Chain A
Amino acid sequence: MNANLAITIAVDGVVYASWLFIVSLGLTLVFGVLKILNMAHGSVYAVGAYMAASVVGLMASRGMPLPLSLLAMLFAAAGVAAILGPLLERGLLARFYGRDEVLLLLVTYALFLMLEDGTKLVWGVNPYYVSEPYGLFGNVSIGTLSFVGYDFAMVGLAVLCGIGTWFGLNRTVAGKIVLAVIHNPEMSASMGVNVNRVYSAAFSAGVFLAALGGAFTAPMISVQPGISVSVIIVSFAVVIIGGLGSIEGAAIGALIVGLARAAAVHMMPEVELFSIYLVMTAVLVFRPEGIFQAVKARLI
């Protein structure tokens, strides 16, 4: 492998991993706190993309400055989280807490189907384009290739999300409370923690990260029905590799998947999809709980 190819694989892998990490981070956070494998996470990603496309499109039609579209995408994701987070968690998921985990998985699958149809009802089946922000950061030349600067901005956003989430959980009082709930909700409740509020906040944070991923992906794709499916499948692979509920695991998992996929595309394109699941299988063989998930003893 020559140096140019190695650098290209590294860049492509990191760019792909950054997108994956933002979405997977939300998925792993929700699982870590609520112990729910949220199948509807991809649908929330799609809602974020649609919301961003609508808001940025509206701004463009009113001649507002293009750089503001980045803020608009951020607020679009926050808006989705503020509305959908408490609504879905309090309105639906909370009614199934304490039931079998498989049942909760089915509930989130039902939610996925409902949100899919909901987005079609609101936005229709025609595609939305908001590609203008994609050119905001110009182009970057690496080796013989030209890359779009926006892709590197996504890497920066992913790093910010990762550090922000880690800092929030490990260096703030609110984060300590969340960690306490993760370790033992009953004990936390007996100490006066409002566990339901923690669940709602954590779920909303997960929704925000999914919507953020969708919002900042919108400028580089055609936003239309079906975009939720592919993202959720690969995100599951990421969190399984990294370890469900682990932020560091999501980061490493995203990097592994991103680099494996990029290497396959460049060197053996016929195994592109297979490469991701090959890595996942290899990790599961040696670390069934994922790279960063410690083996836990049962409480009773």
Chain B
Amino acid sequence: MGKGQGSAWRGGALGVAAVAAAMGMALPAQAEEVFKLGVVTFLSGQAAESFGVPAGNAAKLLVDVFNKGVAPKPYDKKGFGGMRIDMVMIDEAGGATKQVQELRNLYQRENVDAVVGYIGSGDCLAVSPAAEEMKKLLVLMDCGTPRIFEEASYKYVFRTASHAAMDNVALARYIKSRKVKADTMNLINQDYAWGQDSRTDFVGAMQQMNPAAKAQADLLPKFGSGQYNSEISALALQPADIVYSSLWGGDLQAFLLQATPRGLFAKSQLVLSAADHAFPSLGEKTPNGIIFGARGAYGILAQKSALNDWFWKTYQDAHGPAAVVQASYRMAQSLMGVKLAVEKAMAAAGGKKPTPEQIAEALANSEWESPGGPVRMALANGHQAIQNIAIGRTRWDAGKKMVMAEDIQHFKAECVNPPANMKSLDWIKAGFPGAKCD
């Protein structure tokens, strides 16, 4: 081998090395990198059937279609920007203290790049400071309490769904818009944060809509009570124009099963704030004409769109013909938001796997389309989402063997969510200043 040949070889080798090095900058991120995603949802306990398992099913489904690159645009890139998503799913059951420990395990032992999940408000309140302290990305996907961002400020924590004030303001607006007589109200809510906050928001919103509206029976059965004979008697003894409830899951189902044969809903209009998840199981036992919300424009209340049609069909193909419920939608919209944020951050980082800081910057103030409609990270310095919501009435469709929604009214996010500079309860008490309902 002569000198010239040696130089040429060395030159070629250096060229290849240079190309490889250049490619090496991008290749691991685009073809070999893995984005490890922690997903936390109730896999056991009373919230599992209503919320946890549907959310978990949606997470598995979305991660699968993302990894295969078969989701519709703009979610059609494989994985997260070419990085394969490796999901670790854990159970949310066990209480807030356990969840903080589990979150630390996810970040420090499983080395996840981000955590998406949490349904319980107490869990959300507990894990948010822990994620912030560890400087790790945490995306809350469902929990209802407004307190998370109204009482604290975070850099690494986001919530990709509206908080619970929206549900009750929309119900009050629907009742007024449909001229439902509601001068008197009976209330039955579970005796913990969700039930008490929902009751306060609903009564406040109703009194803004109709200052003469008066609460009568105000019942707070304990969570998981199961037996409602006394409560139903109390509600029937002082019949009101409406009976409002934020009950959910087995408690809601038991209440409906026990109250319907006693004729309670023939005396009062039933109004439920978050009930869609109960109808697929109850089927034809669901009373017709219940005014209900689904914590968004979800499932049987969703507006027609190509993305919603795709999500509904893909979910049903995987999990059977029952209606797709709110928790599945909320998980889907969360993962879609995170996917777009990761891809935006990746592009800004020259194709490298983004850091939590870069993803957080991309997710803050972002907007995206979800099966339930547009989502905007508009509150809490871009860390809290607002979204549209729909309210309707139940009707059993014997042909489809499914509870359907009729007389649906959609509300824009800006109509039912507080502005960025106000706490939700202050906003309700002040008469919804800045609300845009046209």
Contacts and interface: CB of A to CB of B under 8 A. Distances in A.
Specify whether A and B are partners. yes
A208 interface: no
A229 interface: yes
A120 B44 contact: yes
26 contacts: A8-B233, A12-B230, A12-B233, A16-B229, A19-B227, A127-B281, A139-B261, A147-B262, A148-B258, A220-B258, A221-B254, A221-B257, A222-B253, A224-B49, A225-B45, A225-B46, A226-B45, A226-B46, A230-B222, A230-B226, A262-B230, A262-B233, A266-B233, A266-B234, A266-B237, A272-B191
Given A129-B281, A220-B254, A272-B220, A15 B229 contact: yes
Interface in B217-238: 217-222, 224-227, 229-231, 233-234, 236-237
Contacts of B218: 269
Interface string A151-162: 100000000000
Given A8-B237, A120-B44, A270 B220 contact: yes
Residue among B233, B257, B282 with most chain A CB within 10 A: B233
A297 to B, nearest CB: 40
B257 A220 contact: yes
Interface string B234-255: 1011000000000001100110
B71 to A, nearest CB: 27
Interface of B: 43-46, 48-49, 53, 191, 217-222, 224-227, 229-231, 233-234, 236-237, 249-250, 253-254, 257-258, 261-263, 281-282, 285
A218 to B, nearest CB: 11
Contacts of B222: 230, 272-273
B58 to A, nearest CB: 16
A114 interface: no
A128 B422 CA distance: 43
A56 to B, nearest CB: 14
A135 interface: yes
Interface in A90-107: none
A83 B47 CA distance: 30
A146 B263 contact: yes
Contacts of A217: 226
B237 A144 contact: yes
B285 to A, nearest CB: 6
Given A129-B282, A225-B46, A265 B231 contact: yes
B233 to A, nearest CB: 5
A4 interface: yes
Nearest to B219: A269
Contacts of B257: 129, 131, 134, 220-222
A126 B49 contact: yes
Given A125-B53, A131-B285, A146-B262, A4 B226 contact: no
B233 A145 contact: yes
Given A135-B261, A139-B262, A148-B261, A225 B48 contact: yes
Contacts of A146: 236, 262-263
A225 B44 contact: yes
A227 interface: yes
A224 B237 contact: no
Given A148-B258, A227-B226, A270-B220, A222 B234 contact: no
A110 interface: no
A252 B222 CA distance: 23
Contacts of A147: 229, 262
Given A227-B224, A262-B230, A265-B234, 11 more contacts: A125-B53, A126-B53, A126-B281, A127-B250, A139-B261, A145-B236, A147-B262, A220-B258, A230-B225, A265-B221, A272-B219
Contacts of A125: 43-44, 48-49, 53
Q: Is the contact region of chain A dominated by helix, strand, or loop, or is it mixed?
A: helix
Contacts of B231: 265
B250 A151 contact: no
A5 interface: yes
Contacts of A13: 230
Contacts of A272: 191, 219-222
Nearest to A222: B253
A16 B224 contact: no
A226 B250 CA distance: 9
Contacts of A8: 233, 237
Contacts of A9: 230
A12 B229 contact: yes
A147 B230 CA distance: 11
A134 B44 contact: no
Interface string A123-142: 00111010100110001000
Contacts of A41: none
Given A131-B257, A265-B219, A270-B220, A224 B229 contact: no
A270 B257 CA distance: 24
Contacts of B191: 272-273
B49 A127 contact: yes
Closest CB pairs A-B (n = 6): A222-B253, A226-B46, A265-B230, A12-B230, A222-B250, A221-B254
Contacts of B225: 230
B42 to A, nearest CB: 9
Contacts of B263: 139, 146
Given A125-B44, A129-B281, A147-B262, A222 B233 contact: no
Contacts of B281: 126-127, 129, 222
Residue among B49, B222, B229, B236 with most chain A CB within 10 A: B229
B285 A129 contact: yes
A290 to B, nearest CB: 24
A270 B221 CA distance: 8
A240 B286 CA distance: 39
A234 to B, nearest CB: 9
Contacts of B48: 125, 225
A88 to B, nearest CB: 22
Contacts of B43: 125
A134 B261 contact: yes
Nearest to B231: A265
Interface string A201-220: 00000000000000001001
Contacts of A19: 227
A4 B233 CA distance: 11
Interface string A47-67: 000000000000000000000
A220 B282 CA distance: 12
A266 B230 contact: yes
